[in-house]
């Protein structure tokens, strides 16, 4: 993989119109972290090769001070009060649920799962868990995971086993990013669902400019501990 500076320069000055930039490489921690710092993320291709993407139009939540980052409807606000929340308490359970092959659009291979578990063990990949209590027992209702570098959180996947649980996980993430100086949540591609929650679509060059600033910021304290729970969220 090209160096960080080479990749940033290549993408920032290229008129390359594809989201897929190149394929091959490996999923070592060093490769993954260099990729995120360069604006890339991995996904498997149909031929079992590894693809590295930097979408021409990028979905993001902007969480720098004063922007708020997320749009919370009255119904979602009510739903958030029905759950409790933690961070990094059940990372492997979250990524296993996200990788469930029965899910529509499932793309997380065993190799990708193992790579992000390793990143988690090294303190780079993090999960937000949403819990629901039923009959005196707590069960995992939803969650998300991604990679935190400075003021960037690069979201990878989310899941839910209860209505609004994945949305609630996103609310928890945005709340902590806004509260603790995080700047940018990468959603890779935007969707109608994410747009309804406040995500915006920006051109590749704008994303790379924001990324350069974001990764230079201090890491929000919430990502600097092995696990936390329960946590509160600010709406």
Compare 68 and 40 and report the one with higher pLDDT.
Answer: 40
Is 202 within 8 Å of 83 (Cβ atoms)?
no
Q: In the prediction, which pLDDT does 94 show? A: 98
Highest mean pLDDT among 3-7, 202-206, 226-230: 202-206
Which domains are present in the chain? 4-55 (3.30.70.3550), 58-223 (3.40.630.70)
Give dist(CA 119, CA 106) in Å, integer.
21
Give dist(CA 5, CA 118) in Å, integer.
25
Nearest one of 165, 219, 154, 214 to 187, comparing CA atoms: 154
pLDDT band with cut points at 50, 70 and 90 for residue 103:
confident
Regarding pTM above 0.75, the answer is yes
> What DSSP string runs through 70-138?
----HHHHHHHTT-EEEESSSHHHHHHHHT-TTSTT----HHHHHHHHHHHHTT-EEEEEEEEEETTEE
pLDDT in tens, 17-55: 789 998 889 999 999 999 999 999 999 998 778 999 999
pLDDT in tens, 5-20: 566 566 655 556 789 9
């Amino acid at each position: 993989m090209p160096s960080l500076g080479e990749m940033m320069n290549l993408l920032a000055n290229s008129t390359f119109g594809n989201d897929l930039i190149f394929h091959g490489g490996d999923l070592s921690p060093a490769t993954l972290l260099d990729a995120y710092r360069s604006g890339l993320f991995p996904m498997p291709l149909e031929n079992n090769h590894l693809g590295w993407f930097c979408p021409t139009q990028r979905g993001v939540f902007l969480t720098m001070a004063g922007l708020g980052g997320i749009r919370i409807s009255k119904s979602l606000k009510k739903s958030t009060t029905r759950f409790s929340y933690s961070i990094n308490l059940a990372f492997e359970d979250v990524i296993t649920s996200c990788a469930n092959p029965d899910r529509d659009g499932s793309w997380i291979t065993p190799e990708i799962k193992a790579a992000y578990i390793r990143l988690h063990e090294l303190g780079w990949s993090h999960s937000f868990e949403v819990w629901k209590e039923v009959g005196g027992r707590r069960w995992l209702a939803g969650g998300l995971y991604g990679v935190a570098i400075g003021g960037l959180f690069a979201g990878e996947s989310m899941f839910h086993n209860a209505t609004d649980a994945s949305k609630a996980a996103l609310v928890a993430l945005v709340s902590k990013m806004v509260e603790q100086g995080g700047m940018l949540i990468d959603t890779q591609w935007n969707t109608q669902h994410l747009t309804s929650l406040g995500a915006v679509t920006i051109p590749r060059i704008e994303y790379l400019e924001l990324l350069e600033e974001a990764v230079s910021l201090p890491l929000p304290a919430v990502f600097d501990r092995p696990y936390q729970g329960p946590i509160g969220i600010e709406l």
